[in-house]
Structure 1
Amino acid sequence: MSNDNFVESTKTLKKTVPLMIKHKVPTTPTNYALWYTYAKQQLPILNQAIDQGIAELGLCTPTLCDTLYQEHLASQTDKDMAQLKQSLTAMVQEISHSMADTLSDTEDFQGVLTKTFGKLETAEQDGLSLEETMKLVRELVRESRQIHTSTGTFKGQLSSTQQEISALRQALIESQKEANEDALTGILNRRAFDRDFQNYIQNNVPLSLILLDIDRFKSFNDNYGHLLGDQVLKIVARRLKESCRDYAQAYRFGGEEFVLILPHKMKSSARQQAETLRRTLEKISVLDKKSGQRINSVTASFGVAERQENEPGESMINRADAFMNQAKKLGRNRVLPLT
């Protein structure tokens, strides 16, 4: 590096650090790169995006920094590796759920066979006298026992494979902890929510929360299998993400729960958006490929909360959660509070 370049870089760095401190941006390598580029004014479109975000939000949130870095500065290799990790994690989750469904079907089949054996053996004990008939029945019992043994062996093989997949899945989950996207649904995860939410709270940015839980989600897994349950989660997440405007963000909060952060939105506006989402979700139609049946019963219960003056973040989340639980108790598929 020439002396002129060194001097120029030093000047830019001296601008970068105060800017990050001013806007309370965490001092991570990617944030340094982002704000160094901003201070150097190399990418006008990047500077415009940052300025617009700060103007509308009052700060540059961690998620906004990450998004702008990925859009403008990250190399294609970085993007490909992130996508590969996310895709691999999603694939392992899908295989794991498929294996769990297969194990469940195998156990049901064994139960039917066991019941059939009992009936056949009882019929024999009650004295069917025709020798030829008894010969056929005994042969059927013998063949059924072979199927039973084969099914048991198959179940053992599936169980062993399931353990290996579970171990791989856990390893991928550990590597995914530093990521901010949920591997299954593709939207932001709980880690990203905690980071962004605390950033808003610490900077006293007015905001509202929408917390929602898919109604009777366990029945989707129990009645149709985990793969269909995963499909429901993906569709719901996509609808939530599509609804986000004005720097609102959707996150997978955990399991079948999702949360939206709406900066600079009052409760009335948040409640209106939640009601729109409620109507959108109840129109979802999912095809169960195993049975050919179409499921048109996807609904969710919503809780809405606007941050009160100096209210701790945990208190705000608890209020939204309480409204959501109350919505479930009152019959599900509704938004609370009413006003």
Structure 2
Amino acid sequence: MTRGSSDFDRTLAFSDAAIQRLRVHRHAAYPRNYELWYTYATGYNSALNRAINEALEHGPGISESDLDLLYETYLSPLRLSERVDHVGTRIIEEIGEVNDALKSARGANSDYAKALESVMREAQSVDGAGGVVLGRLGELLLSATHAMINRTKALEERLSGSQNEMRKLHDTLEVIRAESLTDPLTGLANRKFLQGALDRALLDAESQADRQARFSVLLIDIDRFKTFNDSYGHLTGDQVLRLVALALKQNVKGQDLAARFGGEEFAIVLPDTGLQGAIAVAERIRRAVMTKDLVKRSTGEHLGRVTVSVGVAEWRRGDTGQTVIDRADRCMYVAKRSGRNLVIAETDPLFSEIDGAGEDAAAPQATFASASR
């Protein structure tokens, strides 16, 4: 069998598998939907396959909104910026190398011009027709050499200009990429950035053979957020979100990542942090939020204090990102059930009592492939 026919058979099998998935989940056969299921069939994007498999574990199918989120997270054209950035960097380097070569060539040409001038001076001392011919030849060569030097210098200047423009484009691309990974309202990392940070934390922990490998996750929900929105309007609701985001920013450091998980929920990934350290961070955040007095900007009216419920879970060997999120989510749900304005970790007796009794069966699961509650 030739390689061409082998590729044909293999890719046709992927295509059949993708179309079968479209049928099973009753997804419209749009190019992006087909691309997602085709990529899933190939298994080349392990993060995408893991997210889809985890989503399927929590329900019988994947909705169109789930599909959109999966595509935006794992296959979005915004990821093209990473490839463009790599190519752009290489182009800048190539232009620099060419410019250096031109400078070297211009230096060699200058040395050659000086040598010709020396030859011309010697030719002038020769009597007769021979001296005239040598002098004329030297003048022509010197003129051509100076013209080459000028052209080389002009090309250097153009390349330098191009290099500067490429650097500006490179910087602009960095800004665009940062914006694509940032929640515009709170300035925190968005869900896509969070997924990447969680994947990196998993890889780092799994690559370490010793038992010291660890990281923890906090899931944070604003208590009675709907009441703020319904009573005072969405502008005040946005103010509450920014207030909580500020408390998160002020209490994470180093490699810790705070992100808006969705709606009024936030998440924090704490690399190289055990459960007790994560609980301490969660308590600092809970107290920091409580100390902030909410004032309605339009009237100056004091609206009281905001509180949050926090769930804390630590990575265990064999966990996926979703299983850690699930445990933190269940802990947060127990905090809500236990009176709010609490930090509940998976080792807390309340968690064992309520979660073990199955009282959270109706609690929605916080997944990367579904909208947050």
Q: TM-score, normalised by structure 1?
A: 0.50
Give 1 or 2 for the bigger CA radius of gyration: 2
Q: TM-score, normalised by structure 2?
A: 0.46
